[in-house]
Structure formats: structure tokens, C-alpha cells
Amino acid sequence: MKHLRIAERACLGIHILSMAFGLAGLLLVLPNPEFIAGLSPLGLHAFSWGMSQGGVSYIILGAIAVGLFAYRTLGLKPFLAFFVPSFFLSLSSELIGTSTGFPFGAYHYLSGLGYKVAGLVPFTIPLSWFYMGFVCFVLATAAMEATPLVRWQRQIAAISLGAILLTAWDLVLDPAMSQTPYPFWAFEEVGSFFGMPYRNIAGWIGTGVVYMTVATALQNGKQFVLSRRELGLPVAVYLVNFIFGASITLVLLDAQFTVPTLLSTLFGVVPALLCWRLAPVAVSDGNEAAAIAAEGGVDLPALETAAK
């Protein structure tokens, strides 16, 4: 399991560095063309490659880091139960959305996020739905474990809270990616919520709820709860992705966009930190057994029997 942890942390570190490089380019370099003009041919080539592939790189690395984390802590089947529906459901929603305007509003993707499936949706978009949706759900699930609710009530509450955390992140992501001087997608209608249509928010919540519900159903309703110590990577991923979007929104857009940033903080960052703080200090042996099974191929039922 040690090699998986090392790979997971390496991918997380490069994921963060990729976002830091992207922020430096968007906030410091591109607004100052004299800096670009002073670059050597090699430096200009490296900068151009970084700006064109940076968005693709940080999303892929985030998905790999979270995928390794899910496999290491929960096991192969729970990982696939999250990855498969998140990828295909989000891709389907995005393809329908870019074709019809439902459920996110009329929009289209520009360049900078990689190859587009059917010429419409960059392949990296479903990956971002996976890794951000997963960290939101596991944070919400851990927090619900501290409540007196019965299991099915905790599951419904975790799905609802997870979808809210995911949508709160989009409140700073959408302005940063669609309304700055260097956009990655564009709305084809003037939205009433700081340039975004309200149905975009409803679309995010709905897609998040469907994805998390299907992922839960694929596990036969079984809930994997991670301890506070294990949730270090999920909360770190959530915070750095929020900071990425918030930094672009606050620096490159006018003061009115402080409002969605504050809303994202209130409904995303604060609850995410509370979820981490409310997570149990220790959990039952079920998660540990899943992790051992993932690494060594040990029969999980046998481990569960031994734990009993």
C-alpha cells in the first residue's frame, strides 16, 4: 500500500503545482505581454505548452490522485462504483447540455481543456466531475456518521450535502472559466446570476444528486466512512480547487463577483471543513479490510469474517 500512497501524494503535489503554474500564467504573465516578449524561444515554447496543456494536466492529475486514494482506502469495487457513473452520467449531461441547453443552460466549450468528445465536451470535464464529486461525497458521508440518523437517512443527507458542496465549488469555477479575458467555455445566454443562468445551478445539483445516488446504489447501499485522518486528501483537493477558481474570479473580474465567492465559501468551504472536523477519529475495520483487499487481492468476505 506504501507505493500507492507515494504515487497518490506525488499526483496530488503535481496537481497543486499545475494549478499554481496556471494561476501565475493567467494572473501575472498574460496580462503583461512585455514579459512574454522577453522570453527566449525555448522559454516561449515552454510557456505556450504550459498554457495550452495546463488545464488538461491539472485535471488528469487530480483524477489520478483521487482515484488512487479511492482504490487504496475503499477498494476496487467502491472506486468503480463512483468512477463509472460519474464519468458517463456527467458526460451524458454535458453532451445534452451543449447540444440542447438542458440542464445547465446554453453554452459551449472553447479550447484549452483537451480533445472534445463528439466535438462538444472535453474529455477532461467528466474527470473533474469524478474527482470533485467523490471528495464532496466522502466528506459529506463522514460528517453524517456523527448524526443520530438511521442509515437510509444518513445516505440521503450525505447525497444532498455532497451535491451542495459540489455546486458551491461551481459558483467560483464558472465565472473564472467563462467570464474572464481567457475563457474555457462560454454561455450563449445572459444569465441572471452573475452571468450564469439559474438553471446552471439546478443542473449541477441535479447531476450531482443523480451521480451520488447511483454510486450509492451500486454498492447496495453500503456506506464507507473514512476517518478524519484519512480525509486529509479529500479536504485538500476541495480547498485547492476552490482557491484556484476564487483567485481567478477575484483578480480578473470586478467587485460584484465577490458575492458568488462568498456564497461558495459559505456553502462549500465552511461545510467541507466542518465535515472534516466532524468525521470520526477512528472507523470500523470495514474500510481497512477493503484497503488490504485492494492491495493484496485478499478475499474481502474472509477479512470481514475475521474482523467479526
What residue has cell string 504515487? 7
Alpha carbon distance 132, 117 (integer Å): 20
The model carries a pTM of 0.88
Residues 232-237 have a mean pLDDT of 97
Please report the pLDDT score of residue 224 as a whole number: 78
| 124-144 and 232-252 helices, crossing angle to 10° | 120
Give every CB contact of residue 131 below 8 A, 6+ residues apart in sequence: 59, 62, 63, 65, 66, 67, 237
Instruction: Please state whether the peptide bond connecting residue 260 to the residue before it is cis, i.e. omega within 30 degrees of 0.
Output: no
For residue 37, pLDDT over 90 is answered with no
Of 45-54, 178-187, 223-232, which range is least confident?
45-54
Q: What is the pLDDT of residues 254-291, one digit of tens each?
A: 999 999 999 999 999 999 999 999 998 877 654 544 44
Query: What integer pLDDT is reported at residue 307 of this predicted model?
Result: 40
Res 146 pLDDT > 70: yes
Question: Taking the C-alpha atoms of 203, 154, 150 and 280 in order, what is their torsion angle to the nearest 10 degrees?
Answer: 180
How far is Cα 293 from Cα 56, in angstroms, rounded to an integer?
Answer: 32
Tell me the domain boundaries of the chain. Answer: 2-299
User: For 79-83, 180-184, 282-286, which range has the lowest pLDDT when averaged over its residues?
Assistant: 282-286
At 46 the pLDDT is: 72
**Cα 115 from Cα 22, distance rounded (Å):** 19
Q: How far is CA 208 from the centre of its chain?
A: 11
The predicted structure's pLDDT at residue 34 = 80
Asked if 46 and 203 touch (Cβ cutoff 8 Å), the reply is no
